[in-house]
Each structure stands twice: as C-alpha cells, then as structure tokens.
Structure 1
C-alpha cells in the first residue's frame, strides 16, 4: 500500500481538516494467502541469507570507517563544531556503503522527486520529514547525504548502527531528562543559526511511528529557530506494506524478515518547496509546525489528526495493563468528546448509582439508550470498538473500564480497580467471587487465570469464596510485586505466588 490508505471516516481535527482515521498507531500485516506464504518460505531459504550476509558485511565495513573517523573525538567535540578535513571526506565513503545497504535490502527503486526544490545548508538549516512510519525511514538519511538527525539517546547504544548515527553528529533527545526538551531546542537553534558549516538538522516532527494514514501533531522543537525549513515526504508504494512499525502490529524482526524476502521494495522521497516562516510563525513555533504539517498533508493527500507521543505512551500503558480496547484508547477518548460524554463524565455517575439490572451485553440501540446519546457515526464507532464479533454485542464492562482508565490515567491504578469492583459486582454487596475477580484482574492487571486465582486466594484469608475491595487492598499492600498498583505512574505485569 502507498502512503494514502483507505480509512474509516469519523472525526475532525480542530482546524477543520477531515481526519479519516481515528487510530494511526495500528498496522495489520498477515500472509493471508497460500501464494504469499509459499513465496515467502522459498525466499526465506534462497534470498534472505544472501541479503543478510551482504548487509552485515557492508554495515560492519561502514561501522569500521565510522570508528576510524570518530577516533579521538569526544561527545562534546561532536557537539561543539562540525567535522572537517579527512573526517568530513570519510563521510562520502560511509554514505556509499550505506547506499549499497539500501540496494542489498531490496530497495532498488528509491525514487527522488522535487529535486529542483532541494535546498542546502543555510538556505534551509532544518529538514522536516514525515510521515514517520518505520526504521526503514533511515533510507532518507542516506538519500539526504547524512544530515544531523534528532534521535533518542538510546540510539547511540545500538550495535554498529549507533556509531554510524554518531557520525552524523546528531542531536540526541533524553526523554527521561526533564530538561531534555529545552536542551534539544537550544542545540537545534544554535546549529540552525550558527555560521559554522553544520550539516542540516533532520527531524521527524511526529516523534513516533504511525501507519501513514494521516499526519499527527508535529512537535514544535525543530521550529523554534524560526528559520526556513525543507519539508520532505516519504512514501512506500508497495503492494504489501511490510515496513510500517506501529504500537499495535508486527514487531521489528517480523517486518525485517518480510521486507528482506520481497523481490524488491519501493520508496519514494519528495522534496517540497522550502517553507519560509512569516513573522507570526517565527514568534509562534506551534503555529509554524502546524502550517508546515498542513502543507505536507496536502502534498501526501492525507488528513491531519492531533495525536501526540503522549497518546502513544497512554496506549502502551493501556496495553500493558490489559485495559479493554487498549490500542484504541485515544480513539475512545476522541469519540467520547464528540458525543459530549466527557463534559459530565456520565459513566462515573452510572457506576456510582449502581449497575444492578444493567445487561452486560448490549446492542447498539441499548448502548445509545444507556448513554443517552443518538445513534450517530461516533456512537456506532465507539460501540464497534468493544463489540465481540462472534455474537455482535458490546461487553459493557469493557467500555466502562476503558473510560475510567482515560479519566483517571494520572491517578493510582488502585482507583480504577476500586471502580472495577463496582462494575463486576452484580449483587450490589461490594463482593466479587473468583470468576468476577479473574475478569477484573485480567482487564486491569493483565493477569492470566493462574495468577488471578492465586491473588484471589491470597486475599480471601477467611476462605469465604469472595473478597471485598478492602480485602484486596489489605493483601496487595503487603506484596512488593503489587506496589505499582498504588503509585501514579506505575504499571507492570506481575506473577502472584
């Protein structure tokens, strides 16, 4: 598939541009027919080993040259001034090897468009590339002549690749450092406005990978210098999308395997005209970023959607805890907002007043009636997220837990579990039997049946065959592996002995 995919209509971004996809963090990839499976099996035996050997040889050779070029330079040296002399000339040979890596990986068709718009150095100190959807986007770094990249600090620790990235004299982002954002912005400004002959700074302003169905919020860091930027788009117009790497979808190794077993893969890079900010945009980096995003979205033919890296972290946490609809949790929040359910948090009142008599399995009509909303596109889409396909009904507790997770994402997990006791308490007595507790534990602690069973038995000190929330808390506070339940940002999968 190419950069513009078929999407489900449903929401609008605040600037009025239609956003036809509500979850840019999901990618489905399966070998769904016999021909693909047989071909992949054959090429795994015949083609894959050859490509891996060649790629490894080329990368190790490039790494060796990078080590030679970086010898004697400290991290401070790399940040103070651009490399010159023989170190700078060595870049050509490293780039040549990396271009051969791209070919060896099967990307025989790297098409570069808009060369007449390609700017150098001072004309456009910052290169803005989107959409960011894959580790294969590194192809663009090679095509652009190895500009300085803005990357996570952990990237420097990658075997072999870390040294190659260091050779671009990157701007590293330390996401765990509270001052990282300011330091990164400061360094970008210094390079963009320096009189030294620094390489252009390449940023992926989305800050995370998406499925290329839309452009999410651009981080403003690269726009703070207020200098002209070079927008560059990247597409992968292939019959089967084996490159997209998102929060919900195939892992890196599977994507690498499937890509290297393709006969050939295509990549398309397009330089758009240099964007010169006006005075208002220079004063307002967020406006600058937003306007550049709109230009790039128009060129790509995709909508924009105001999702951010923080949304990705929320999705990751939801999935880690086993929250129902975890991969679509940001979409749930958006749809609730469209239905005005977020104004008064109707679901909390519903739980507080008691759910006795409310069916757990609902039709669309019953769900709309229960939530006091009309059956509209957002309502139908929200319902569909929690539908069990085998019976075509929504499991209402799943929806309630997902909503509570959104509302109390910054509160201790124990609060969500407290509400969970009310949701799964069908009798209104404040007690849960082992079956109901196992359901709750699976959906808030990501526990399997055995671990949930052990947790229940540990809390049921008097062997009553039911536990209350207070009994759960009394037991959990004594277990070190459950301490994360009572912290604001903790989450992990535990095994209960």
Structure 2
C-alpha cells in the first residue's frame, strides 16, 4: 500500500467515473445514456432495464424431457467404427449362440407345458425343474448379447416378505435377466402372446395378460395379481409399473396394478453404464439395438435390490401413495428425475413420427398429468393429434390457428361436455400442439374452475 494512503483516503483515486442522468421525461421520450447494440432500448414496462442498454427478453417456449430418447442412435467416432468391424466375426458367433440357446429353451418350455391344462393353479414342481433348462439358456442369451458378468447389489427378499417385485424398464434385457434370476410371474400386454418363441416361454411363467386400454381387462389383471400374490405356491410377481421402456434417465408415471392389492413390494433398479453405446430401447429399432449389442466387446449391467416398501401401519394409505413412495425410492436410488410421462406420450410421439414431423418428441404432453387434470384419455389425445396433424399445420403451428380453431370445435364434439369445455380444447391445442405463448394466469384460472 502506498505510504500516503490512510484509512480515510479513497481507495480508488484518479479513476474516471461514469455519470448516468435519469430524465424525468415520459418513457416514450427518454433517451438511453448509451446503446452498445444500436437498438432502441428506451425504458418501458416490458423492459425496465432498457435505460441501461439491456435488451428485452422473451420467455422460452415449453420444453419437455424426453424419457424415450436413445442418445447414441448414430455410430460416432473412429473408435466405434473400428470396434464394430473388429467385432463382426464375434457378432456372428454370438448370433449363432443366441439362436441355439433360444431353440433349446423353446423346446424345453414346450416339453414343460405339454399336457398341462390346469393353468389356474401353480405349475407342478417337476415342470418347474424342467424350466431350469430354459432359465440357463436365458443366461447364455445374455452372454451372447455381451453381458458376460452382471453386477448385483443386495438380495431378493423372501417371497413370503415381498410377493411383488417392481423394476424400472430400460430394455428387453431386464425380462430375460429376471426370468433367469427369479423365474417370476409377469404381467404383460396381450400382444406378447403372439410373439414367436417368446409367447410360449412367457406362458410358462403363468403370465397375466392385460389390455391397458380396457377397463375390464385391467380389473381382471388386478384381481389376478391379488390372487397370486396371496398364495405362496405361486412364484413372486414381477411388474414394470412404467408400462414401457425408457432411456433410464427419468422415472415416468407408475401404473397402479402392482400397488392396488396392498402387499409389500421390493423395488429393483437396473442400470446400464456406458460411454459410447446407449443400451436403452427407446426410439431405436429392435434390429439395430441387437446389432449394436452384438458388436460390443462387453455390455455393462448393474442390478440393485432395494429395501422392501411396505404399506404404512396404522395409516390409511391408498395405491397412489404407495406407488409414489416406491417411485420415489427408485428415482432416488437411480438419481434421476420423476416425470408424468406415460405410454400415452410414446403413442403421441409415434403418431407425430407417422406424419413426418421434424421433432416428434415436442408432441409429448406428460399424458398421466393430462389424464388426471383434464380427464382426457390417451386414445382421445392421440385422435386429437391425428386430426390436428391432418390439417397440415405450418412449421410455427400458429399461422392457421385462429382460422382452424372454429373447425376444431366441430371435429371434437366429445370435448364439449361440462368436463371438456371449449376453452379446454383451445388451451390444450395452444399450449401443447400449437406451441403458442401461454399465460400462466389463464391456466391457473381454468384449472381452478375445472377442479
């Protein structure tokens, strides 16, 4: 410090100062003291910092997390191309091993099912022992896909303690792994029964089929879950409550089928660490995903059994609350976000892809939230999007908004009921499909009047 400075001396001496003069003129006549960008930045209500030369700002449009996006759709980098070329002979051997194991497992399953007619009761023990051949074949199938070893953490709880197991769903690998590890009874879509080889094998698991769009089918599935969970002679039940595969970077909304019976549940998390190849089965074809798995030196997979989540004692807890606690436990263990997406969002994205939209993921609306708040079913939303895209909207989705809105009211007569007033259609299309600007005050007023 200089010798002539004291505690009372100014710290900044001989430094030029900038003087800002604030005029008392109206905002329209006020002149900015400086303008670095050669633009009019006069003070107004929308830009109170204009007198400092700051530009006005716009609130960005709504963005949506895409829980179905595979981040390695393309083959990038010299390392990946060299690895694929080197692994092509290995991939051929793996493909032969896969086909051989699938054939042997299929034959063993057919033998185990032959002559078994009483499928409402647990499978006899000698048939279960024969199914061990198929279970060993499934482990060899995992080996052929590059899962030479699988890291496990924790242990499965005894079936008497936790008759129901739930897991996040990232790929088709988890059902194969759990088939080998637990040989559980699963809940699957009715469409799986017609799949070659796979349909026969899951029938041996005493599968519970469900049609997600049929109320009676869902009710029957819940009754079957309750019946089989209450009997220790049946295997434990395995459910993927998300209802579809995701990329593992988010936990989407849970279906309630596993939680309505009110039994203790053991959550399991499955994680696929990777650097170059995302193994999630999202917006990628099955053939391409299998090819990429076959052409990897090794694919990493980690499975962790979490503590059992039991219904609270002396506290009345419904299925929604139990599902929320389980979902939170899984999301916390994975360190990922929770969203209100559902299988309906995947249907909306698929519909947008059919119409050759540039960014189909923009049409996802977190369908579970829409269903609960707006009472709009998935099938209605898909039909709504189909009719909207058939209008061939422009890239901004705003040019024909007002001219088409009256036509929208006529093609959606089912939404003119008290549960779906006309403003709801307008808000729904404006906020999600037309991607226009949305005032939060109006949304709050409308949702408040709805509830």
Counterpart selection for 2:160 from 115, 122, 126: 122
CA distance in structure 1 between the partners assigned to 2:332 and 2:351 by the alignment? 33
CA RMSD of aligned residues (A): 3.5
CA distance in structure 2 between the partners assigned to 1:291 and 1:93 by the alignment? 37
Counterpart selection for 1:35 from 79, 87, 101: 79
> Which residue of structure 2 lines up, in the alignment, with residue 285 of structure 1?
319
> Which residue of structure 2 lines up, in the alignment, with residue 267 of structure 1?
301
More displaced stretch, 179-188 vs 168-177: 168-177
> Which residue of structure 2 lines up, in the alignment, with residue 436 of structure 1?
none
CA shift for structure 1 position 204: 0.4
What TM-score do the two structures reach when normalised by structure 2?
0.67
Contact 1:128 1:204 in 2 (8 A): yes
Residue 184 (1) aligns with residue 221 (2): yes
Q: How does 1:449-464 map to 2 (within 5 A)?
A: none
After superposition, what is the alpha-carbon deviation per residue over 1:79-126, rounded to whole angstroms, capped at 9, x for unaligned?
x111123112112222122212212221012111012xx212221110
Contact 2:70 2:247 in 1 (8 A): yes
Contact 2:345 2:366 in 1 (8 A): no
Q: 1:266 to 1:163 in 2, by over 3 A?
A: same
Contact 2:250 2:331 in 1 (8 A): yes
Counterpart selection for 2:92 from 49, 56, 63: 49
CA distance in structure 1 between the partners assigned to 2:380 and 2:257 by the alignment? 29
Q: Number of paired residues?
A: 338
> Which residue of structure 2 lines up, in the alignment, with residue 85 of structure 1?
125
Contact 1:121 1:197 in 2 (8 A): no
> Which residue of structure 2 lines up, in the alignment, with residue 172 of structure 1?
209
CA distance in structure 2 between the partners assigned to 1:61 and 1:327 by the alignment? 41
> Which residue of structure 2 lines up, in the alignment, with residue 201 of structure 1?
237
CA distance in structure 1 between the partners assigned to 2:363 and 2:386 by the alignment? 16
> Which residue of structure 2 lines up, in the alignment, with residue 63 of structure 1?
106
After superposition, what is the alpha-carbon deviation per residue over 1:337-395, rounded to whole angstroms, capped at 9, x for unaligned?
xxxxx99xxxxxxxxxxxxxxxxxxxxxxxxxxxxxxxxxxxxxxxxxxxxxxxxxxxx
What TM-score do the two structures reach when normalised by structure 1?
0.61
CA distance in structure 1 between the partners assigned to 2:106 and 2:227 by the alignment? 28
Q: 1:413 to 1:154 in 2, by over 3 A?
A: closer
Q: 1:281 to 1:296 in 2, by over 3 A?
A: farther
More displaced stretch, 308-317 vs 321-330: 321-330
Contact 1:206 1:216 in 2 (8 A): yes
CA shift for structure 1 position 151: 1.0
Unaligned runs of 5+ in 1: 1-9, 13-19, 337-341, 344-405, 431-439, 441-468, 474-497
Q: Secondary structure at the match of 1:97?
A: helix
Q: Secondary structure at the match of 2:131?
A: helix
Structure having the higher Rg:
2
Q: Secondary structure at the match of 1:227?
A: coil
CA distance in structure 1 between the partners assigned to 2:342 and 2:126 by the alignment? 41
Contact 1:128 1:231 in 2 (8 A): yes
Q: 1:318 to 1:282 in 2, by over 3 A?
A: farther
Q: 1:420 to 1:157 in 2, by over 3 A?
A: closer
Q: 1:182 to 1:410 in 2, by over 3 A?
A: same
Q: Secondary structure at the match of 2:87?
A: helix
**Greater share of residues in helix:** 1
CA distance in structure 2 between the partners assigned to 1:407 and 1:190 by the alignment? 33
CA distance in structure 1 between the partners assigned to 2:136 and 2:380 by the alignment? 52
Contact 1:121 1:198 in 2 (8 A): no
Contact 1:214 1:304 in 2 (8 A): yes
> Which residue of structure 1 lines up, in the alignment, with residue 340 of structure 2?
306
Q: 1:66 to 1:33 in 2, by over 3 A?
A: same
Q: 1:296 to 1:72 in 2, by over 3 A?
A: same
